[in-house]
Structure 1
């Protein structure tokens, strides 16, 4: 028998404020058409002034617990992927743990920018397979609106706020590709590409949060190749072919990157869960948001083979293959 980390529940939260592309026309030399044609984004959500990343993460967690029919003390570990924490420390995860009323277990954050949720899933899988935890609440939550340069039309129109959560539980499988749960993972990073996507502030440099900076054209060229490569690696590890994939649930950064990756994998866009048009790029929150939407809409069903991949600052990238 093989121990698998199996999805038990999923949920998400989006702030009430919806910002259409036209809003940016009021203060930037841009247009709805310019944004849509280059990114696929039509709108995004921005957190209210009083809302923090932990607020969003908490709401998504409660939705996932309700979806799974579980209580907070059923969880052994809370793992949050974020690049926009409430505070330098403590972690967002410990804040969520406290606000859920958990009286046991452990909690920590993972920071790999847009690849953060993939990294968090891989860590959660390792915790379960090693026996360190039986059930892990994995959250991606971001308030990227807090680090936007509102004069930079190449970046500020792309990002949004939100949170998604997924609960993984230990379950015995037979050790084949037909098992439910995480079947294979692949993680990569290359610090030589730091300047393609970074924030120009930090504790030991400026003492400020800083603003997001991105070299979009260079990042695009790296993204499609690296995303397709990591997806193929995870599929190979699992003994699967891309033709067996039911759904690609990618990081929702840019429609051209998403479609280019699907094309390299030989898969139709009909098999892609697409939310970038409504959420924008929510960094580490984008994949769990898309998973939750896919389930809520009745597309992702028990037994479906799901492939997720993401790339973010670092550069850091990776993929996960799981059977729902």
Structure 2
């Protein structure tokens, strides 16, 4: 099969909203300082729902909106770096929550951080057979790994989940580009080791990540345009990982592109890592922005360092 078709989308964000003014009460910051540097105004924070619950609610939303025949679901893939547990996978927990334990399903997680959703699209594209469906979910509860006294990270991240139900298609074009380079210094969250049973907080070198991100987005877009023979003018939307307004605006200015092509909802959700792109697609779908045969580029970039992109038809 040549490509994939997205049948439906869904998303979920916890009800608790933490504004910039709320953060200014606990760290040395302000609404103006955060907005001017990131574009973020709010972020949703989970109180008692873990990653699998957010993933389940986003998947349920997508299934209900698309009136999906769940008997055709053969794969559940969850992209996350904040799983409930080391094992079982978040995807297996979602399978149970969806009531799909009595059918043959391959359920597994991947961790490519903020690139997780675009990696997942490429993985699933290579696995789907005719008349098979897959649920791809990006889900994160990053707040459980945040040091709320660290102004460099606590202002940026939020919790949420986005999902897409996809099927293989011979009629829909699909191009992908995925890459990585080992880097344990710019962006990381340390886990358990043999001599250290404590888990650390998320750390980010903002300047290094900014330089990496703008280069990764540009390279990813150019790679897909080269593969497809299309121009940026022929692309209807570019959906970047929702990390920072300055990163995205830097890219569209460098490309001399129409800012309207670059959808952003980071102002409401902040950086939700693997959840950000599917959440954005779901909101765009709800708003009626996505039309049949439109050409969409999704670009992810994050810890690893990982980056990549997909170009597909709606």
Match of residue 46 from structure 1: 45
SS at the partner of 2:21?
helix
SS of the aligned residue for 1:151 comes to coil
Residue 132 of structure 1: how far off its partner (Å): 9.0
Counterpart mapping for 1:192-207 below 5 A: 193-202=183-192, 204=194, 206-207=196-197
In structure 2, the partner of 1:293 is 283
Residue 320 of structure 1 pairs with residue 310 of structure 2: yes
Are the structure 2 counterparts of residues 236 and 133 from structure 1 closer, same or farther at C-alpha, using a change threshold of 3 Å? farther
* Cα RMSD (Å): 1.5
Partner in structure 2 of residue 254 of structure 1: 244
CA contact (8 A) 1:76 1:133 kept: no
**Cα 1:204/1:237, change in 2 over 3 Å:** farther
Matches within 5 A, 1:100-139: 100-102=98-100, 103=102, 104-128=104-128, 131=129, 134-139=132-137
The answer to whether the 8 A contact 2:11-2:61 is kept is: yes
Structure 2: state its 5+ residue gaps. none
**Cα separation, 1, equivalents of 2:90 and 2:193:** 17
Offset at residue 42 of structure 1 (A): 0.2
> Alpha carbons of 1:154 and 1:107: their partners in 2 closer, same or farther (altered >3 Å)?
same
Unpaired runs of at least 5, structure 1: 174-179
Structural mapping, 1:200-279, within 5 Å: 200-202=190-192, 204=194, 206-279=196-269
Q: 1:132 to 1:303 in 2, by over 3 A?
A: closer
Could you say what secondary structure the match of 2:213 adopts?
helix
Q: TM-score, normalised by structure 2?
A: 0.96
The separation in 2 between residues aligned to 1:314 and 1:204, in whole angstroms, is: 22
Give the match's secondary structure for 1:166.
strand
Structure 1 residues 74-93: aligned runs within 5 Å: 74-93=72-91
Query: Could you say which residue in structure 1 is the equivalent of 2:11?
Result: 12
**Deviation by residue 1:50-102 (Cα, 9 ceiling, x = unmatched):** 20100000000011111221133221000000000000111000110111111
Give distance in 2, aligned partners of 1:219 and 1:208: 26
Residues matched between the structures, number: 312
Aligned counterpart, 1:157 = 155
The residue matched to 1:23 in structure 2 has which SS?
Answer: helix
Q: Is the 8 A contact 1:242 1:266 kept in 2?
A: no
Q: Is the 8 A contact 2:3 2:312 kept in 1?
A: no
1:177 maps to: none
In structure 2, how many angstroms separate the alpha carbons of the residues matched to 1:204 and 1:216? 29
What's the TM-score, normalizing by structure 1? 0.93
Report the alpha carbon displacement of residue 205 of structure 1 after superposing the two structures with TM. 6.0
1:308 aligns with 2:306: no
* Structure 1 residue aligned with 2:141: 143
Shift of 1:203: 5.1
Give the SS at the match of 2:240.
coil
